[in-house]
Structure 1
Amino acid sequence: MSSLALTHARFRILETIRIPIAVVGGAFFPAASMLFFVVPFAGDDPIGATFATASMVMFAVMTSSLFTYGVGVSEDRAQPWDPYTRTLPAGPAAAFAGRILSGLAFMTLSLLPVVIIGWLFTAATTSATGLLLAVAAVVAGALPFTFMGLAIGYALPMKAALAVAQIIFFPLAFGGGLLSAPSQAPSFVETIAPYLPTRGAVELVWAAVGDFHVSTTSMISLAAWTLAMAALAAWAFRRDEGARFS
């Protein structure tokens, strides 16, 4: 099964990189945000640059998850290959695992430019331990957005999936405080942020790379969002399976 999942992942990666703009586009917006907003305004401040880089990493993760899984899954469902693979004796598990693995690969590609820009052009800094903790925090923080993207992709046709991903993307980023420093967002953002998954996710990364204490409310909210989105993604997958293959 693992070998088959890797084969599916390789197929999806090769299919995507044959259209280079699809790869570049996913990394462009977070990297551009770093260059235009973080480097000139917080680049010389070690603490500010470190937290801002962490925020842009989660910004890249959320962008990649919503669009890679949300729009990508919906687009694949409209192609004949995807329904065919789901009728094979091996079942849908290997193809699904391959999709997750390829999504993780492109997520890594989207956040690497942010990390490189923060390393080369700002005073952002952290320890080796902090870097390892940040990797774990990014993985945990990516879960609700991965499930959210899968739910969108399996529940909606491509045009609707693209619109929904675009509509929820900016409110989650701004409302969760990704576009401002810790405790420096507008008051209404600070009020709603702990109840959004973006806030809990970025707090984990802030705590990993710097002196920041996570909020209990944010962590409970992040766990609740993760479970809710996982249930929604499972429902959307079963609904699609039953609607097209029963």
Structure 2
Amino acid sequence: MTSLAMTHARFQLIETARIPIALFGSAFFPAAAMLAFVVPFVGSNAEYATAATASMVTFSVMSTNLFQYGVGVSEDRAQPWDPYVRTLPAGAGPRFAGRVMAGLTLMLVSLLPVILIAAFLTEATVTMTAFLVALATTVVIAIPFILMGLAIGYSMPQKAAVVVAQLLFFPLAFLGGLMTGPGMAPGFVEDLAPYLPTGGAARLMWAAVSDFPYDFSSIAALAGWTITLGWVAVWAYRRDEGRRFS
């Protein structure tokens, strides 16, 4: 199981390396937002710059996984290789695990520009303990967005998946409060954000790198989204398998 998962992960990484613009696109928007909004406006304030960096990390996690899995899976389903792999006796487990491992690797790589900009162009600062907690938190908050991407990728054709991913990522970012710091969003965003996956993820990141308190209602909402999106992803996979192979 582990060996097969690693093989699938290596295949996915090699495939992405052959088209590096895909990784560049995932890293560009958060890095551009850092340069356009964080560095000139709050870069000199350590507290605000740290929180804004956490927001941009959340934004990158969301957008990378949404497009990596939503668009990537739908593209794979259109290729002749996909039906063949899905008929192999190993089952879906190793392939799913390999795709998740490759996606997490690419996600962490796409975060490097944001971290470097924060380190060299702003006063953002964290302790080593906070950095390690933030790193673990990044992996945790990636899970619901991975599942969201898988649900889109397995339930829609390629053209529809691209449109849905594009329609989702900006409203989720804005309504989740990723465009502002803690407590700085418009009132209706502050009320809604804790119950969205982006808002819950951002609050976990803020708590990891600053004195922002853990919001247990938003954590519960994020857990609920994770369970729901997991169920939808499994349903979409089985529905696709039933349509194409039964």
TM-score when normalising by structure 1: 0.98
| Post-superposition offset of 1:153 | 0.3
Residue 21 (structure 1) aligned with residue 21 (structure 2): yes
Partner of 2:93: 93
The equivalent of 2:118 in structure 1 is: 118
Q: Identify the residue that residue 228 of structure 1 maps to in structure 2.
A: 228
Task: For 2:216 and 2:158, locate their aligned partners in 1 and report how far apart those are by CA, in whole Å.
Answer: 37
Aligned length: 246
Distance in 2, Cα, partners of 1:90 & 1:222: 32
Task: Tell me how far 1:217 sits from its aligned partner.
Answer: 2.0
C-alpha distance in 1 between matches for 2:182 and 2:169: 20
- Structure 2 counterpart of 1:145: 145
Q: Deviations over 1:105-148 (max 9, x none)?
A: 11111111111110111000011110111112111111111100
Q: CA-to-partner distance for each residue in 1:72-94, whole Å, 9 max, x for gaps?
A: 00000000111110101222221
5 Å matches for 1:204-219? 204-219=204-219
CA distance in 2, matches of 1:100, 1:93: 11
- Structure 2 residue 210 is matched with structure 1 residue 199: no
Residue of structure 2 in register with 1:239 after alignment: 239
Poorly superposed stretches of 4+, deviation over 6 Å: none
Please state how far the C-alpha of 1:167 moved relative to its aligned partner: 0.6
Q: Percent identity?
A: 61
1:187-243 CA-partner distances (Å, limit 9, x unpaired): 111111111011111111111110101222211111111110011101111111111
Contact 2:104/2:139 (CA < 8 Å) preserved in 1?
A: no
Equivalent position of 1:102 in the other structure:
102
Separation (CA, whole Å) in 2 of partners of 1:22 and 1:140: 23
- The corresponding residue for 1:169 is 169
The root-mean-square deviation of aligned C-alpha atoms, in Å, is: 0.9
Q: Which whole-Å CA distance do the structure 2 matches of 1:88 and 1:148 have between them?
A: 26
The secondary structure found in structure 1 opposite 2:232 is: helix
- List runs of 5+ in structure 2 lacking aligned partners: none
Task: Give the whole-Å Cα distance in 1 for the aligned partners of 2:21 and 2:175.
Answer: 29
SS class of match (2:125)? coil
For 1:26 and 1:169, locate their aligned partners in 2 and report how far apart those are by CA, in whole Å: 12
TM-score by length of 2: 0.98
Query: For residues 49-74 of structure 1, what are the alpha-carbon distances to aligned partners after superposition, in whole Å with 9 as ceiling and x for unaligned?
Result: 00000000010000111000000000
Map of 1:3 onto structure 2:
3
Structure 1 stretches lacking a partner, 5+ long: none
The amino acid of 2:124's aligned partner reads: A
* Counterpart in the other structure of 1:33: 33
Q: State how far apart, in whole Å, the 2-side matches of 1:51 and 1:174 are.
A: 16
The residue aligned with 2:56 is 56
Does 154-163 or 8-17 show the bigger shift? Answer: 8-17
- Are residue 155 (structure 1) and residue 155 (structure 2) matched? yes
Aligned residue identity for 1:225: W
SS in structure 2 opposite 1:71?
helix
> Which letter does structure 2 place at the counterpart of 1:209?
V
1:101 CA displacement: 1.1
